[in-house]
Structure 1
Amino acid sequence: MPASVGRSLIFVDIDGVLIPLRARPSGVSRRWSDRAADGPDRHGNPLLDRLDPADGRRLLALPGELVWASTWMAEANTVVAPLIGLPALPVVDWPDDVEGPPRGVHWKTRPLARWAAGRPFVWLDDETSDADRRWVAAHHPQPALLHRVDPHMGLTGIDLAAVRQWLDHGDEVG
């Protein structure tokens, strides 16, 4: 990709991506409920037990700029990031006055393409579809990978390998 474009953005959703719908196999996640009351899980969300602490390290190893793209908003930095070893990341601020998306297109698609401001990007989410891919291909000037994570499994090594391959060769994939 041209040097003037900059590093690719990596938009990361939380629910269904870092917090799968099913509990992870024993030994993968840690029990966060044992933390002190003033710790990062002060909200008492039992689903935080499904976070894999290794996901932070694996995401940081990707050659791109991580950005939260979740309805967790600022709590992504205050609650989730400390539990998986991520620093505070930029957060997409979802506009309140978003006009309805085109039929079949996810409500996040247009705001993310706008936030990317012409930069290549990866979007890790459990709700992306072919309609989103077509919309981005038609409206975003740089390559983009909209990678759907299985919400029952959450982020896996296979997902991260696909993202890394795309980031290493994104200018060829489009």
Structure 2
Amino acid sequence: MMRPLLLLDFDGPLNPHRAKEIPPGYSRHEIVEGTKTWQVLLNPRHGVELNSLAEVFDLVWATSWEHGANRLLGPRLGLPELPVIVWPSRTPVLRGSWKTPYVAEWVGDRPFVWVDDEVGRDDQAGFGDRQVVYAVDPGIGLGDADFATIRGYGYSFAGKEFRPHD
């Protein structure tokens, strides 16, 4: 049986870029590459949680940062190099996220949890029962309850009993 995928958007879930102030546990980081500079909010606990989820899932970047996520973001979170979904274009779609058709093609029928701040019911409609589109508030980012829920999905996909850690 193939392991489920955890598809990770960065801006929103891991960088709560719509937060009115810096949320607890986060700190501001300046990322510079060449002539470009980005301000992001990072929580070191996210790296710990994601590395733990790698016991259940195969982690994949599903972010507009594309390969830049491995160069610029993953090392700051303590993540290994991950596969990347490359977006051929950002063609608008009638319903849902512009990413959805590309995610569908990339994952096929493999089980997954896709974590993104720009997804909703319309995006979920095109996927199967073991394929979960998980929306995250870009003003808050991923929290402990989200990680527990995602872990629960991973265990259910693998047919294992999930016991939240205390």
Q: Equivalent residues in 2 for 1:1-174 (5 A)?
A: 3=1, 6-20=2-16, 21-22=18-19, 23-26=21-24, 28-33=25-30, 41-43=31-33, 44-46=37-39, 48=40, 50-62=41-53, 63-96=56-89, 100-101=92-93, 103-137=94-128, 143-170=130-157
Runs of 4 or more above 4 Å deviation: none
Q: Which deviates the most, 71-80 or 128-137?
A: 128-137
Secondary structure, in 3 states, of the residue corresponding to 1:82? helix
- For the pair shown, the structure with the greater C-alpha radius of gyration is 1
Deviation of 1:116 after TM superposition, in Å, equals: 0.9
Name the Cα RMSD after superposition: 2.0
TM-score (norm 1): 0.79
Structure (1/2) with the larger strand percentage = 2
Kept in 1: contact 2:28–2:42 (CA 8 A):
no
Structure (1/2) with the larger helix percentage = 1
Q: Could you report, residue by residue, the CA deviation over 1:18-47 in whole angstroms, capped at 9, with x for unpaired residues?
A: 110214335x134545xxxxxxx334322x
Q: Where does the alignment leave 5 or more consecutive residues of structure 1 unmatched? A: 34-40
State the identity as a percent. 34
Q: Distance in 2 between matches of 1:119 and 1:159?
A: 21
Q: Where does the alignment leave 5 or more consecutive residues of structure 2 unmatched? A: 160-166
Deviation of 1:100 after TM superposition, in Å, equals: 4.8
The count of aligned residue pairs is 152
